[in-house]
């Protein structure tokens, strides 16, 4: 039995990417950055408050645009909980 990973419809992801401001917000939507900010290193870690504000701004723009967006806990492959941004019910931010 083969399991399939759910994916975000292309039109939804395109609309979300159009609302992203900057490379950090695009990396959240593309699955390269963690929603919690736990992957921030160096100087970026010192500016974590601004990154949190950026995540919040992205979330509110997505919601205002009428997209099905949520921030929720997901279970990782090693049975740990992680916070992820979900579009159309599918996690899109990086999960460890």
Whether 65 maps to a domain, the answer reads yes
- Tens of pLDDT, residue by residue over 10-41, are 999 999 999 999 999 999 999 999 999 999 99
Residue 1 has pLDDT above 80, yes or no: no
Whether 19 maps to a domain, the answer reads yes
Structural domain range at position 65: 10-91
Whether 3 maps to a domain, the answer reads no
Contacts of residue 16, defined as CB under 8 A and 6 or more positions apart, other chains included, come to 8, 29, 62, 67, 69, 87, 92
- For 47, the token pair is 């500016």
Whether 4 maps to a domain, the answer reads no
**Structural domains in the chain (count):** 1
- Structure pTM? 0.88
Centre a 10 Å sphere on the Cβ of residue 87 and count the other Cβ atoms it contains. 20
């Amino acid at each position: 039995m083969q399991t399939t990973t759910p994916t975000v419809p292309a039109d939804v992801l395109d609309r979300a990417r159009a609302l992203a401001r900057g490379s950090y917000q695009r990396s959240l939507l593309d699955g390269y950055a963690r929603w919690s900010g736990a992957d921030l290193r160096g100087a970026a870690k010192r500016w974590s408050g601004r990154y949190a504000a950026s995540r919040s701004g992205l979330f509110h723009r997505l919601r205002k645009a009428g997209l099905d967006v949520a921030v929720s806990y997901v279970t990782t492959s090693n049975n740990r909980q992680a916070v992820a941004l979900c579009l159309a019910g599918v996690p899109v931010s990086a999960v460890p």
